[in-house]
Structure 1
Amino acid sequence: MDQSFNRHENHAVNARFSWYDQFAMISRPAILDRIRAALARTAVVVLAGPRQCGKTTLARELLSEDSPNYFDLEDPLSLARLDEPKTTLEPLQGLVVIDEIQRRPDLFPVLRVLADRKKQPARFLILGSASGELLRQSSESLAGRMERIEIGGFTVDEVGLQSVSQLWRRGSFPLAFLARTEMDSLAWRKQFIQTLLERDLPQWGVRVPAAALLRFWTMVAHCHGQTWNAAEPARALGVNPSTSRRYLDLLTDALMVRQLQPWHANLGKRQVKMPKVYVRDSGLLHQLFGLGTEKAILSHPRVGASWEGFVIEQVLAAELYDEAYFWATHQGAEIDLILRRGDRLLGVECKRVDAPRLTPSIRIALDDLRLERVAIVYPGTKRVALTDRVEAVPLGALAVPGHLFEEEKG
């Protein structure tokens, strides 16, 4: 019996080291460069993102967890050290990391005082699983003193083109993407959803039964890529529309759902005014759909919407933009994604087809919105110019951030 236990224990240890070895091989230089640049110009940098997306791993590349300047607020020892936060933090110099900051929102006023010191002997990198309360506390207490960086899981440029199918199927969370088997990935995603609803959200002050939020999240999944009408899920749950909207905002604050707002142009056409909703991680979307294999995903009627959401998240992670929208009219014209850069508008269409073509919607959008360029992202391998302003672009172009549009190549 002891031998059997030892074999099981050794297997678990080897699996754990295997995961860390794989994680170490996937570098995230673009995010690290953004963090370093922000720390060079700002006293406090907030690195926000969902749990398990890799924030702690990135922070440990900048500062060892053994450093006295590293505080993990899920560690009782770190919590004890911060019983008197100003006394503990004030003498520190160089980089200071505070992980899981949402557990101690009372630290924000102290950080404001420390950020106002003239010589600024320390820079603070604070990590938090996104929540409305975290963002509210940081914006109120550190207004004008902080820079916020929002991250998600792995991207195409980080995992490589050979892993795009796996990234779409399993999602971008490191533990889901790097799991040894499909069953391990599914088990992790199921546990992640359960932990978020039963532990994390209640810790953030959310007083909604986990079962109700899971039903609601599943309804959102079935609306993935569609305009949102709060009344329909409200009726299904037996709540009022304002409660339905509050549930949606909770999942949005947790970076589980994206509400893509509509772009409004001064046109003589009725334009859609409701947001579109997307489950931000394709792996969690597939989990909520109950899809466990690639065959099941490819045969599902919402496969096109799943791929659209996946592409949108990859584009938003790879491209520079000031604001992101979608556009649609009640006559049927639409553009999946509009990126605003200053006074320029760039369009993105997501098409899971072998040979993209110029559609009437794209022609209308080019004329009505005066889009500078439109990229039709598809699963192929070749860039094909369809007009002087419209190009079919393979998803692989996102492996080089900023190269989605032809003008930015090279």
Structure 2
Amino acid sequence: MSVSFPRASRIAILGTSLVQQNHFGDARSLATSARGWMSWAEVLSHGRLCCPVHHDASVPPGWEPSNRPGVSRFFTGLNFGVSGQKAIEIERRLPRLLRSDFDLIIVDAGTNDMMIETRQTIADTRARIASALLNAGKTVILLPILARGIGKWPAGGAERAKAHWINRQSVEFAADHPNCHVFDWNSAWIDPENEFGEPYPGYSDDGTHFAVAGAFAVGKLLSTYLERIVPQAPARILAKDDRFDPVNNPAGNLASDFSGLTVTGIGEKSHRLGGRLVHPGTGVWVEAICDAEVPAHEAVWGLSLRLKDVAADGQEAVALAPFRSEDGTFFPFPATGWRGALRTPPLKLRPGEAPPELFLDVILPPGSRSIEVDVSRIEVRPVSSPVRP
């Protein structure tokens, strides 16, 4: 059955590391990443768009990052990205992901095939993936092959030429298939003044993947693009009496103070938000969201919303976790001002009596000027279990 008006709250993303890196987790935490283009689309849509994930340490066969046996992504949900995979490996995962509940899916495939497969093979596999999703009633948005720096694809090399041809095939495929579209992330990524079609300086950390600035640019464009495809969500209005009550309002706000405030960041600081939260009970899933207005600043290394379960084996859920290189170097946030909503992944509370805690973490380089961030409409709420039967 054809889907023509997909839900904004359940957007799936499928592909390689370019998709997986929107989220990252370990045994004690799960975060949306500041290097994630979907993460920024969620923020800059003011929370209207959502690609839900939750913590999961399982290792499904065929879903191991970079094909490393026994290694987990530490999350499940609607981020179907697995690093290092070729298009045929992505195609093999379709039966499992089609058991999930979503209407719209954004598809990246083929970037890891460029040096080993023919252009026709790559285009054919991309078409089969899209066709299978369309036949399942999904709205499909194809992502072109993302351009790389010349350190990865030589200037004038076969990979660059193949990518242009494959991307043209995707445009023609979408034109021939209802409910199939193309979102050209290259239009926000490629420097038009660059002779070889490389990404803008600072947009990538290695010539292939996203740094924070590149993710912000693509996420901002995607947020605007999806306004034409998904419905508007209700405005997020907080009533002062919408508070948690275990009997009559078990989905009420756990925060005791959700009014606006301004936090001033110098260096690296964590600011407590929401007052003293209420503990809704062991085993309850909770998530946090707040609005933030961030002024233009020449150097922001991190600005994250962090929900912490203080139980002995409690976990953390983070929105817009900072991105840093292996040597600890931070990749800066965009220097421009922005407004949006930061929402954490859901967090399952472990046994304990102390209520969870909510923080806004701000990281600035040593010696930089301070920043004032306006934070408002703070919510911490119990949510339905994201675990599907």
TM (normalized to structure 1)? Answer: 0.25
Higher helix share: 1
The structure showing larger relative contact order (alpha-carbon pairs under 8 Å, at least 6 residues apart) is 2
The structure with more radius of gyration: 1
Higher strand share: 2
TM (normalized to structure 2)? Answer: 0.26
